[in-house]
Structure 1
Amino acid sequence: MSSSPYKWGVVLIACMAIFIIVLDSSAMNVAISTLVVELNTSLSVIQSIIALYALIIASFMLLGSKIQDILGRRKTFLIGLIIYASGTITATLSINAGMLLLGWAVLEGIGAAMILPATTTLVGASYKGKDKVTAFGIWGGIAAVGAAVGPIVGGVFTTYLSWRLVFGSELVFVVIILLFRHYLTESKPTLKWKDLDIVGALLSIVSLILIVLGILLLTKPQNWEYVSVLIGSGAVLFVVFLWWERRRIKKGMEPLSDISLLKNRVFGLGNLNSVIQQIPLAGFLFIIPVFLQQVTKLSAFDTGLALLPASITILVFSLIGAKLSSSLESKYIIMVGFLIAAGGTYILGGVFNINTQIIDLVPGTVVFGVGVGLLLSQLTNITMSAAGDDQETDASGLLNCFKNLGYSLGTALIGVLLLLGIFGGLTSGIETAGVASNMSTQEIQEGLIGYVEKMQTGTPSIPPELVPYSAQIIDSSISSAMKQTFTVLSLILLLGFITSIFLPSKKKAG
């Protein structure tokens, strides 16, 4: 491969695959209002679909990683790509939210869970020495670029063409990958289907889905009675999954994943910090567009433009952070990253009101981007460094599983906190307005919540005399809820700082 003029064929294919997967995670957040209107759905439903896309990837990641050992990495990659392509077609042609859920969250999610681990092993097996370092650098850089340009790509397509083209354009990449699939090398299967840990796969998938669904149900008070059941059941099943995997390892049977890795202090804390870092990032990318499109009435393109400073800063400082690691310990860069990101969310918490403009967000989003960029540059490397060569596949599967779980939890948890904050703010807003009406405060509140769920499109189901006050009541409630939610984001990032203190230094780790 190294002597071929096309020696970078494998990494270019891997980069195209990772690019379209990452693009989905960030491009569609700016299209929330358009999706609500065109698919006749609600904000909570779109939030659920975004969260479930990352959740399905996380839930099926360990299974997708293990299937490589049965089918071979090339075949696993190509099957995942076909499933992903069927998802993009379904999402492109969606006529309702259910179809978008099936195409984007389910089919694309399962496809991505097979593609992501395979790209890691394909790149790792195709290069040696400096070429390997370069290949993984390119691969990681393209993933960062995909996340950075996602909001602008989504904004351009949604505002000037159609959000469907975000998905439709991905088929071009799929076709190119299939045309150049001969560059991909196959690996010899080391397991048979009978060796697959089906019970472990089911336990891991069901447990994670129950936990996130429980959080998503918090948006509606009438569903709160089911929340503790779902989250509790999910937590119990996850503990059972860990016990089951440990039992299989002790018996000398093939586990779904080598969870003994989690006992390693660096690997365990690295994954914990990855989850903590992903929660504010996902929450930030979800609630900022909700605020901008509801309160400041920005288009999808302008929303993407507002997120651009953060995107560029994250990309630049992930590259700077990688250079810094040659002179500074990763542990300290991670600690500083959490503190700077927390400073960014603290600054942002003070800028939200009904008169907020894009320019007001720039200082906070840039500071946040610096912190997140530094974190992204270190967490993968420090976590993977704890795994031996024979554990790389399992380590990569677990890390990607936890990272996507963090992203899903961020969209679900932070989105729920925002909606609950809005819900609480509406009550005092209605009472302050003091307009007499034949509807109770609760009925008016429900009408306004329904209007928020529709991204303030159409007409609110409230008395006509209250309609002139509705926008101000809602916008004030959203602004107040944004401040509270960003306070929570700051606390989560400070928690990350505290947990990163316990990462061993190089001297101790060595």
Structure 2
Amino acid sequence: MDDSYKWGVVLIACMAIFIIVLDSSAMNVAISTLVVELNTTVSIIQGIIAIYALIIASFMLLGSKIQDILGRKKTFLMGLIIYACGTITATLSINAGMLLLGWAILEGVGAAMILPATTTIVGSSYEGKDRVTAFGIWGGIAAVGAAVGPIVGGIFTTYLSWRLVFGSELVFVAGILIFRHYLTESEPTLKWKDLDIVGVFLSVISLILIVLGILFLTRPEYWRYVAVLVGSGSILFILFLWWQRRRINNGLEPLSDITLLKNRLFGLGTLNNVIQQIPLAGFLFIIPVFLQQVTKLNAFDTGLTLLPASMVILICSLLGAKLSSRIDSKYVLMIGFLIAAIGTFILSGVFNVKTQMQDLIPGTVVFGVGIGFLLSQLTNLTMAAAGKDQETDASGLLNCFKNLGYSMGTALIGVLLLLSVFGGLTAGIESTGLVDNTTKDEIHDGLFNYMEKMQTGTPQIPPQLVPYAPLIIDSTISSAMRQTFTVLSLILFLGFFTSLFIPSRKNPT
């Protein structure tokens, strides 16, 4: 392989995107092990997964703008080093706090510098059909990283150690450094004094407050803070948009060119990226929770259950890129949303205490077909709306909202599941006929905490109720899964509806 190798840039981009998306899906199947080894709860692990995507989203605009100050290649490599430091920290974690620092914060900041640089490097390295193919491959590998992650995580967690999920990423980091000569540097167009510090503050804080507010819904004692966090975050985000517009009108360099959002293709493309990420993130979080809590599968079997969907996502990502050369990308999107919605609808009817892994495969495969089509189109379609001079801002905004969607998906769908469980436990307790009103609340809290610990240890409830605990929790989770997947179907139908308004534009380049 020499410097003239046509797909060298895509090779590097694919290795980078693979390790960034691998973490969340790979570690989802290790939830039970993480809860036990780090002495934590499902909600905290859910929070770490959501915060990982949130940190990426929050720092994405800053990471994108740094390209204009340092250059794309230098920004990419600097982000890679920060990411590697986070990977080492996560590998050596001895508690949830250390995992949060390494995985969510350091890896998140590193990824926020890598992702926009990767998008613009790929976008600027290819044209025409090669550009469509490059983004299709890139999107497909992103899908594989998210979807194959469960089987990778399952193998490591069950037979070796979950820590190797993070440790193995250092091999990819080394590979990227070896092949870095394929990357071309861009000339810096800004200086540090041009950086919009106020915009950085407003964008980071607003997004963090909104997602934290959603995560606080998992515990009733925190509900009084939810409206304050989400409300203040929303106000700060509106202020951010106003501040960006003000800087643009005054001839100053904004953190991001928000005028792109007025472009119909870019705005709707970004919206559909967010809508697509929410069910994908929710799916990858709650399916392993069900499989490990109710069907009592280990990490490997959990990953094995998701493997057919993983393969289908890869195949359909590649097919979708080919399909867009024959029909308008808009219609590929519409088909993708519709098929994914059918998949979640099928899944909404299969959850009960007797559900086995094979019962889930038909629905997950149909869902995977739809997601594969979506991932093959969304990045290229959205980026096609940006001119050459807007690619940096466009990639920053797009990746910011995509990761915000993933973070919100993990938070919203996880919260919806936990709230459904929290509310449903009361009926399960009453069905035993062994409690009175004076002890019901204590039993409810004891069962919920037992569920939060992935049914490990002994539930803190009256001894006569202990034999009923697994059945009560399993029945409640099954019911909650049915409700949650119905909501996922509605979200995907919303994506189908919004994609109707995307301008028809065959093979956008």
TM-score range, shorter chain: over 0.9
2:133 and 2:297 map into 1 onto residues whose CA distance is: 40
Q: How does 1:302-313 map to 2 (within 5 A)?
A: 302-313=301-312
Change (3 A) 1:281 1:478: same
**Residues 17-45 of structure 1: per-residue CA shift (max 9 Å, x gap):** 22111211311111111100000000000
**2:457 matched residue in structure 1:** 458
Change (3 A) 1:487 1:7: closer
Residue 254 of structure 2 is matched in structure 1 by: 255
Deviation at 1:506, TM superposition (A): 3.2
Q: Is the 8 A contact 1:439 1:463 kept in 2?
A: no
**Is 1:282 matched up with 2:285?**
no
The alignment partner of 1:502 has SS state of coil
What residue is the counterpart of 2:349 in the other structure? 350
Alignment of 1:321-340 (within 5 A): 321-340=320-339
Percent identity for Structure 1 against Structure 2: 80
1:179 CA displacement: 3.5
1:415-464 per-residue CA deviation (whole Å, 9 max, x = no partner) reads: 00000000111101001111147961000000000000000000000011
Q: CA deviation at 1:224?
A: 0.5
DSSP-derived class of the 1:506 partner? coil
Residue type at the aligned position of 1:476: S
Deviation at 1:121, TM superposition (A): 2.7
How many residues get paired? Answer: 508
Corresponding residue of 2:291: 292
Are 1:92 and 2:81 matched, yes or no? no
CA distance, structure 1, for counterparts of residue 435 and residue 127 of structure 2: 75
- Give the distance between the partners of 1:255 and 1:353, measured in 2 at CA: 52
Match of 1:488 in 2: 487
Q: Which residue of 1 aligns with 2:51?
A: 52
Correspondence for 1:190: 189
Letter in 2 for 1:191: L
Q: Kindly indicate whether the alpha-carbon contact (under 8 Å) linking 2:133 and 2:321 is maintained by their aligned counterparts in 1.
A: no
- Amino acid of the residue matched to residue 60 of structure 1? F
Report the CA distance shift for 1:127/1:279 in structure 2 as closer, same or farther (over 3 A).
closer
The CA RMSD over aligned residues, in Å, is 1.9
Give the match's secondary structure for 2:54. Answer: helix
- Counterpart residue identity of residue 156, structure 1: I
Contact 1:292 1:303 (C-alpha < 8 Å) held by counterparts: yes
Cα distance, 1:388 vs structure 2: 1.3
Q: Scaled by the length of structure 1, what TM-score is found?
A: 0.96
In structure 2, the residue corresponding to 1:366 is in which secondary structure? helix
Secondary structure at 2:391's aligned position in 1?
helix
C-alpha distance 383-135 of structure 1, shift in aligned 2 (>3 A): closer
Q: How many angstroms does 1:337 deviate by?
A: 1.7
- TM-fit CA distance, 1:124: 3.7
**Contact preservation (8 Å) 1:340, 1:371:** yes
Residues of 1 paired with 2:184 and 2:329: CA distance? 33
Structure 1 residues 177 and 331: CA distance shift in structure 2, 3 A: closer
> What do residues 63-101 of structure 1 show as CA deviations (whole Å, max 9, x unaligned)?
001001111112111111111011001100000000000
Quick one: structure 1 residues 337 and 179, their matched pair in 2 at CA, closer, same or farther if it must change by over 3 Å?
closer
Separation in 2 of the partners of 1:18 and 1:428?
Answer: 44
Seen in structure 2, the aligned counterparts of structure 1 residues 502 and 368 have a Cα distance that, compared at 3 Å, is: same
Mapped to 2, the partners of 1:183 and 1:4 lie a distance apart of 6
Distance in 1 (alpha carbons) for counterparts of 2:462 and 2:190? 66
Label 1:263 to 1:199 Cα distance change in 2 as closer, same or farther (>3 A).
same
User: How far is the alpha carbon of 1:127 from its aligned partner?
Assistant: 4.7
Q: Structure 2 CA distance, aligned partners of 1:135 and 1:366?
A: 25
* 8 Å CA contact 1:309, 1:362 repeated in 2: yes
> 1:438, 1:233 → 2: CA distance?
38
Q: 1:9-88, aligned counterparts within 5 Å?
A: 9-88=8-87
Structure 2: give runs of 5+ residues left out of the alignment.
none
Give the AA of the match of 1:383. Answer: T
Q: AA paired with 2:146?
A: A
Unaligned runs of 5+ in 1: none
Q: Residue 200 of structure 2 aligns with which residue?
A: 201
Shift of 1:371: 1.4
